[in-house]
Structure 1
Amino acid sequence: MSAKFLKETKEGTILLVYVQPNAKRNEIEGVDEWRGRLKVKIKAPPVGGKANKELVKFLSKVLGAEVELVRGETSREKDLFVRLDVKDIKERLGF
C-alpha cells in the first residue's frame, strides 16, 4: 500500500486526510487511493468545528503525538501536521 497520504517536512509530517463525519464510531477506514488520502470516520457532526476537534484528538491518541490542523477547516479533505517522521506514522497506523 502506498503512502501518498504522507508528506515529509523538516519539522515532521503532513498527513493528508479525508474525513467522514457523523459516523457510528471514530475509526481509520483505510486509504482512499483515488484521493491519495487516509480515510477517517469521526462520530462528531461537522458543526462549529466539533468534527475537527474530535479528528485532532482521535489522531493524537492513535499516533501518540501532537496533531495540528493546518488546512481544510471547512472541507472534508484536511491536511494535518504531526511531529513524527513518515516511518513512525506508518508503523503506528499499521501500514
Structure 2
Amino acid sequence: MTAAVWLREAADGSVVLTLHIQPGAKKTEFVGLHGEAMKIRLAAPPVDGKANAALCAFLAEFCGVPKSAVTLISGETSRAKRVRVAGASAGAAARLRTLGA
C-alpha cells in the first residue's frame, strides 16, 4: 500500500494533514483526494474564522481527540491548509489513511 501523501505522521506522534477546503457546502464531509491533498467540504461559511473552527471541530470528532489537540499550521485564509492532530490514536490514523485509498 502506498503512503498517503496528504497524511504524515510526525516524530512526536502527531498527524499532519494537507487539506483542500471547500467552505459553504451543504454538509461537512470528506470528499476524496484533490491533487496531493484531502478535500473536505465544510458547511460553515468562510467568514470570521468560522470555517477554520468548523474544520478543527470536525477533525477532532473524527479522530476522537479534544478540539484543543487540532492546530492549524498554515493556510488560515486559504483553501489549502495544513493541520496537526496531536494524540490521534493508531485507529484514527488508519481511518484517515483509508479515506485516500
Please say whether Structure 1 and Structure 2 have the same fold, judged by a TM-score greater than 0.5: yes
Which consecutive residues of structure 1, in runs of 5 or more, have no partner in the other structure?
Answer: none
Aligned length: 93
Q: TM-score, normalised by structure 2?
A: 0.81
The answer for the alignment partner of 2:81 in structure 1 is 78
Runs ≥4 residues deviating over 6 A: none
Equivalent-residue separation in structure 2 for 1:86 and 1:38 (angstroms): 19
Cα RMSD over matched residues?
A: 2.0
Identity %: 37
Equivalent-residue separation in structure 2 for 1:76 and 1:7 (angstroms): 19
The answer for the alignment partner of 2:27 in structure 1 is 25
Kindly report which structure 2 residues correspond to 1:5-84, keeping only aligned pairs within 5 A, or say none. Answer: 5-11=6-12, 12-32=14-34, 34=35, 36-65=36-65, 66-84=69-87
Q: TM-score, normalised by structure 1?
A: 0.85
Shift in CA distance, 91/8, structure 1 to aligned 2, threshold 3 Å: closer
Local SS of the residue matching 2:30? strand
